[in-house]
């Protein structure tokens, strides 16, 4: 397993060791011991999974304290542009984002600790996205920012030029980053 730090402190890219042969491949997608040694010493309480068509955009979301979540995200099938935005007010990288392509082919994972907004854009039909979370979902604790906020300047269309994204009603009504009051 290879752990790579990102420019945003605490946000980590994980690349598991994959063994391939004529039958296919094998890898450990999670080992509490190895992840703890890498600094991700978290008790995960829930696994979530979504299935999406190409162009589905989910985010940018987080949960307020005391229901904040750390997320270990990966793609089982298809691919996504995965995005994390630092919303830790005392962070030197507050308001900055990190993007990475996660896919069923590259097997990469992203550790998104509490204090980040998270979202993703599916780049292929029939994409299966899965993640472990460190706290239970609480509807009343949902927070978020508009996916296309000009202050964040996330280049979603760079990955799917000319596309109309599929968004939930909720994701179309989130606050701008300027209006957003971070609890972190």
Neighbours of 106 (CB within 10 A): 14
Give the start-end residues of each E strand in 66-171: 71-77, 79-86, 97-103, 109-112, 116-122, 127-133, 142-144
End-to-end CA distance of the chain: 30
| Torsion 44-48-49-55 (CA) sign | negative
**For residue 98, what are the β-bridge partners?**
84
d(CA 148, CA 145): 9
Q: How many other C-beta atoms lie within 10 A of the C-beta of residue 65? A: 11
Would you please indicate which residues are annotated as catalytic (active-site) residues?
A: 61, 131
């Amino acid at each position: 397993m290879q752990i790579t730090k990102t420019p945003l402190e605490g946000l980590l890219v994980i690349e598991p060791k994959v063994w391939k042969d004529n039958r296919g491949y094998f890898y450990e997608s999670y080992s509490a011991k190895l992840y703890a040694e890498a600094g991700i010493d978290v008790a995960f309480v829930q696994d979530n999974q979504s299935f999406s068509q190409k162009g589905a955009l989910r985010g940018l979301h987080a949960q307020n304290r005391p229901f904040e979540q750390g997320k270990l995200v990966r793609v089982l099938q298809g691919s996504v542009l995965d995005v994390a935005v630092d919303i830790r007010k005392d962070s030197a990288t507050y308001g900055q984002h990190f993007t990475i392509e996660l896919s069923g082919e590259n097997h990469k994972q992203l550790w998104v600790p509490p204090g980040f907004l998270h979202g993703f854009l599916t780049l292929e039909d029939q994409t299966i996205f899965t993640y472990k979370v460190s706290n239970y979902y609480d509807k009343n604790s949902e927070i978020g920012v508009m996916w296309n906020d000009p202050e964040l300047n996330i280049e979603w269309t760079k990955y799917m030029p000319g596309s109309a994204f599929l968004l939930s009603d909720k994701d179309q009504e989130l606050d701008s980053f300027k209006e957003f009051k971070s609890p972190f």
